[in-house]
A and B are shown apart, each in its own frame.
Chain A
Amino acid sequence: MKWGRPNYHIYFLCLASIIFYGWWNVSYLWLLLTSIGLNYVIGVYIVKERGSHKSKKIVAFAIGANLLLLVGFKYAGMLSETLTWLTTIKIEVPVTELPLGISFFTFLQIAYLIDLSKDDSSAPSFSKYFLFVTFFPHLIAGPLVHHKELIPQFDSEKKSVSWEGLSVGLTIFIIGLFKKLVLSQQVSVWSDAMFNGVAAGVTPSFIDSWVGVLSFTLQIYFDFSAYSDMALGLAKMFDIRLPENFNSPYKSTSIIDFWRRWHITLSRFLRDYLYVPLGGNQNGQAQQYVNLMVVMLLAGLWHGASWQFVVWGGIHGIYLLVNHFWRKHSPWEIPYILSIILTFTAVLIAWVPFRAVDMNSVMTIYNSMFGFNGVILPEHYQSLFSNELNSKFQKIGITFGSLSLYGGGFQILHLFALLCIVWFMPNTQQYMCNYQPCIVLTEIEPSRWKWNSGMVSSMIFGITAVYLILLAVQGKTGEFIYFQF
């Protein structure tokens, strides 16, 4: 199915993207449109002045202006609070709602301007640039697309809507929706209960805290995986391939590996536009460690205007330093399975400041996770042990009582089943690998279990779609976690 006249598909997708953004939050549509307009004009100017001394100044100005916009809307409140805390000087910052997707569309355009100043490509037409920034599958939560990956795909000569694109895209979209509405749903309830409970003054027990944090670890995995799939699927339906953004990160064997699999396009952006310009690993190990730490702290800050995100980034920064140091100096290699479990546990522990409501909650949860708030086992376990053993338990601080969140066998089975999916099932790219659903950025091992467009498959996905629509009508959707960034 070919589009009618040249560029009609671009205008259609631009309109759809504006409606999509306005549907979520119409009040900041002006900001998005202004940002696009100004950056496009600056881009044209950069091309015109390319190579001259003026060009560098324009790029620096443009980056500054974009970052100022981001700071103004996203970080002003945090900066003001920090200033008050440090100096008692109080600056009133009007509380405004965070413009949806501001971090994404700002970074996307900064990267575009930097690239334009460096390479010899010409500025695209305004409509193509507009669509590059606003293309609705990636507008709100990524992936952070490179302009060279996306703009050539808008070329009208090549553009058509195919049955293959529609089928593959719809299937991926349904898989993503399933992850969001089914797989991440129950764990989000347990996770919210634990983290909100701590914020309300409830001290979780050892088991409750681990159940809550493990639940969040799985929730954010399926939530982000779901979003990534849905974005890829929607784009594929218009025969456009977005870069892969998520490649089974909990199968990582190290933190370095984790950051190559989790939010792949953000890692790429930080590497190309921050880590490398800082000097990367070219100026000795000490400087490399400093660069890594700076990048990870800023990566944390990018996620949200709160010191907790900085702490989260800092923890990952420390992990990365340890990982690099270990690689260089360790006498032995950690066995494969142990390395996956170690990486997973480290990532799980780091999620606490990412999700907790405030720093007090972070400390309470860590204390509970490491047994400093006592260990309480379910009351009925007492009958399983001898009196002698029970008194020994008591001596080392293990008591029996009612637990708040721990739900027994069903909960253990549920969490175990999700962990099995995470660790042993092929991911969507592997499952759909015959149809190239995305621009591959990492190594994707082909899976034995592959999708085909047969009758049975269509019936399974059709019935699943009905179930998911009913769940969506029921109001089980909730926002994606990454929408707040």
Chain B
Amino acid sequence: MNSSIFNFKRYFVTILIITLSLLSVCLGSAEIYLRSQSKKIQNKNDYRQRLINGHAPWVAVGDSHVANGLLSTDWLDNLGQPSDNLESIISKLEIRMERPGLKGIILPADAQIFAFYRLTADQRTRIQELLDDSSSPLLILQTANKQYLTSLVWSLVTNPASLWLTDQEGERTDVLPDPKSEKWRKDAQLRVQLHTPVREIKTTLAAERYWRMVREIKMKGIKVCMVAYPLSSAYRQAIGINHNFAVVKDFYAEIAAIEKVRYVDASALIPDALFGDPDHLSDRGAIELTSRLFLECDVADTKL
């Protein structure tokens, strides 16, 4: 055996050994960590159940503003999920409307629905993955987890101690950040930048789809309540006189007026103390908003 062949053999075998051993450690640690997060798993299962089998007379759909802003109760199934865009909102409504008993829908009337990153996000697989029953027995291979696999592995590499901590996520602490802090203000500015709607939204297909969605829900005899979700004062201040936000607000108001549906502008309804971050409510804030919307959307009138 000459030395170059030995080199190639050693090279190839070394790559294989490194790859297989390192991969086993990474995937094994990630699996162990995920299995320790029982509350997070429970939350996901609960969400899936609400989407597929939920029977509350009202549903709320939308992104994290909805997911964090409302509670699921006997009258309401909260189907809000972070990052949902118009495409996934419509798909979820279609799934729910296949079952009888739906009396009303709370639709989001937030500016970020028309933000560029939401309009262009491809979420076709998102719903299918939620409906897919044949999820892998390995948690790392389940869609909800595997999309964050590299960041999870990296966080375990940088902080191996987290492997022995359980249920870090899913807990919402009562110790909230200070809404008057500089960090809060900067977060608000960043969020506003991200959420800024595109110019001339009325020319977008999304605007047309939103309007059509409202009309079609109404035609099925289901009540619609459009809600602009609460925002902290710092967030509202960061919006300032941004023309694009004002155009979106006018657009929602126009739909509500023409289609004769309820439009609740709750953007300044909740005090800063009940926010978890500049544009998401805390648990207490969610309790408050849920009861306020019960009244504002005339839920009691829908003969529950």
Q: Which chain A residues have a beta carbon within 8 Å of chain B's beta carbons? A: 162-164, 166-167, 170, 192-194, 196-197, 200-203, 401-402, 404-405, 453-455, 457-459, 461-463, 465-467, 469-471, 473-475
Contacts and interface: CB of A to CB of B under 8 A. Distances in A.
13 contacts: A162-B8, A193-B120, A196-B120, A197-B116, A201-B203, A201-B207, A453-B4, A454-B7, A458-B14, A474-B146, A474-B148, A475-B146, A475-B147
B18 A466 contact: yes
B119 interface: yes
B199 interface: yes
Contacts of B14: 455, 458-459, 462
Contacts of A463: 18, 22
Given A201-B205, A473-B141, A465 B19 contact: yes
Nearest to A195: B120
Contacts of A454: 7, 11
A164 B5 contact: yes
B246 to A, nearest CB: 13
The number of chain B residues touching the other chain, given as a range, is 35 or more
Contacts of B91: none
B150 A197 contact: no
Contacts of A453: 4, 7-8, 10-11
Contacts of A470: 23, 26-27, 149-150, 153
Contacts of A466: 18-19, 22-23, 26
Given A166-B12, A201-B206, 11 more contacts: A163-B12, A170-B15, A194-B120, A201-B203, A202-B198, A457-B11, A462-B16, A467-B150, A470-B23, A473-B140, A474-B148
Given A402-B244, A466-B19, A470-B150, A200 B120 contact: yes
B242 interface: yes
Query: Across chains A and B, which 6 residue pairs bring their CB atoms closest together, nearest first?
Result: A462-B18, A404-B116, A163-B8, A453-B11, A458-B14, A201-B204
Contacts of B22: 462-463, 466
A193 B116 CA distance: 8
Interface of B: 4-5, 7-12, 14-19, 22-23, 26-27, 116-117, 119-120, 122, 140-141, 143, 146-150, 153, 193, 196, 198-200, 203-207, 242, 244
Contact of A202 (B116, B146, B148): B116
Given A167-B11, A459-B18, A463-B18, A202 B193 contact: no
Given A203-B200, A466-B23, A474-B147, A458 B10 contact: yes
Contact of A167 (B12, B140, B146, B206): B12
A471 B140 CA distance: 12
Nearest to A205: B199
A426 B9 CA distance: 26
A475 B126 CA distance: 13
Contacts of A164: 4-5, 8
A401 to B, nearest CB: 8
A296 B199 CA distance: 38
Task: Classify the interface of chain B: helix, strand, loop or mixed.
Answer: helix
Given A458-B10, A466-B22, A474 B120 contact: no
Contact of A200 (B26, B140, B205, B244): B205
A455 B15 CA distance: 9
Nearest to B143: A475
A462 B116 contact: no
Given A201-B204, A402-B242, A465-B19, A163 B199 contact: no
- Choose among A459, A461, A462 the residue with the greatest number of B CB atoms under 10 Å from its CB: A462
A201 B199 CA distance: 10
- Choose among B4, B11, B204 the residue with the greatest number of A CB atoms under 10 Å from its CB: B11
A193 B118 CA distance: 9
Nearest to A408: B193
A193 B12 CA distance: 40
Contacts of A475: 143, 146-147
Given A193-B116, A453-B7, A473-B140, A462 B122 contact: no
A200 B204 contact: yes
B186 to A, nearest CB: 14
A474 B150 contact: yes
A197 B119 contact: yes
A470 B151 CA distance: 10
Contacts of A203: 199-200, 203
A193 B19 contact: no
B11 A402 contact: no
Nearest to B207: A201
A166 B9 CA distance: 9
Contacts of B149: 470, 473-474
A197 B14 CA distance: 46
A471 B154 CA distance: 12
Contacts of B198: 197, 202, 404
- Choose among B8, B200, B204, B244 the residue with the greatest number of A CB atoms under 10 Å from its CB: B8
A43 B31 CA distance: 55
Nearest to B86: A200
Contacts of A200: 119-120, 204-206
Nearest to A455: B14
- Choose among A162, A170, A197, A202 the residue with the greatest number of B CB atoms under 10 Å from its CB: A202
Contacts of A162: 5, 8
A202 B11 contact: no
A465 to B, nearest CB: 5
Given A193-B116, A462-B22, A465-B19, A473 B146 contact: yes
B196 A192 contact: no
Given A404-B198, A473-B146, A465 B203 contact: no
A230 to B, nearest CB: 16
A200 B115 CA distance: 12
Nearest to A459: B18
